[in-house]
């Protein structure tokens, strides 16, 4: 993309990459405010915003809050829609409640973190398992927020890109994003799962550049 003349800026969110952990558990709005401070410090305006997975949540919140700053929005395998719990999930949540009571005695308390990690592995939230204390609470806080009602408020021209084999955020959610964001186009990438930027970076860049050239 840079070779095509675009300036590409990719910040590490606090708690991710090489950035330090937030001083307290953050919400999606806290990450949105971080982006606002970041772009204002760089005097950026009227730019394209790309969000992948967790970053999609932040991109949604930012675009709804500051639509005048965004020229175009790109959501790639974006999180943000809280799934309705199926039978498997309801069983796991029920077991989690039982587990909280079971691990209450001090003698078993040290096992609680391991049990919680296993719980989030079942729910495919592996970032939780790798996180430290503050980031564990941040991830729990973020996962509780459902952005479905925010999607119709996005008026910015939007490209939705999704790997058809995504198991973390299944492709059915791509169609919900397309339905709720009226000024949007959906591109489904065959034989690709949750991370197109790692699996087929050149194809992903090609799709994004095609979108950018239509402005």
- Report the chain (215 residues): mean pLDDT per 10 consecutive residues: 93 92 95 97 96 97 97 98 66 53 48 48 49 83 94 98 96 98 97 97 97 94
CA distance 29 to 39: 15
211: CB partners within 8 A, 6+ apart: 72, 74, 159, 185
CA distance 78 to 170: 10
Contact 138, 125 (CB under 8 A): no
Listed by start position, the domains of the chain span: 2-82+147-212, 87-141
Comparing CA positions, the residue from 205, 168, 209, 212 lying closest to residue 189 is 205
Q: What is the pTM of this model?
A: 0.82
Task: Give the pLDDT confidence score for residue 108 in this predicted structure.
Answer: 42
Query: Domain spanning 2-82+147-212: which CATH class is it, in words?
Result: alpha beta
**What sign has the CA pseudo-torsion 114, 137, 132, 167?**
positive
Task: Give the pLDDT confidence score for residue 139 in this predicted structure.
Answer: 87
Contact 79, 169 (CB under 8 A): yes
9: CB partners within 8 A, 6+ apart: 42, 44
CA distance 168 to 76: 13
CA distances (Å), origin 14, targets 59, 73, 133: 15, 22, 14
19: helix, strand or coil: coil
């Amino acid at each position: 993309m840079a070779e095509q003349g675009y300036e590409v800026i990719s910040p590490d969110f606090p708690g991710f990459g090489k950035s330090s952990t937030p001083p307290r558990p953050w919400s999606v709005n806290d990450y949105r405010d971080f982006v606002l401070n970041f772009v204002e410090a760089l005097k950026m305006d009227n730019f394209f915003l790309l969000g992948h997975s967790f970053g999609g949540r932040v991109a949604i919140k930012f675009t709804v809050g500051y639509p005048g700053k965004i020229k175009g929005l790109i959501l790639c395998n974006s999180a943000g829609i809280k799934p309705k719990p199926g039978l498997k999930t309801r069983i796991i949540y029920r077991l989690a409640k039982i587990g909280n009571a079971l691990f209450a005695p001090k003698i078993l308390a040290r096992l609680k973190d391991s049990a919680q990690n296993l719980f989030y592995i079942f729910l495919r939230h592996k970032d939780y398992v790798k996180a430290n204390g503050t980031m564990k609470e941040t991830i729990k806080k973020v996962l509780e927020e459902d952005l479905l009602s925010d999607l119709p408020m996005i008026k910015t021209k939007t490209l939705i890109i999704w790997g058809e084999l995504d198991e973390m955020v299944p492709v059915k959610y791509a169609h919900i994003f397309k339905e709720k964001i009226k000024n949007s186009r959906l591109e489904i990438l065959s034989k690709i799962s949750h991370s197109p930027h790692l699996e087929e970076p050149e194809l992903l860049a090609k799709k994004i550049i095609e979108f950018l050239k239509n402005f």
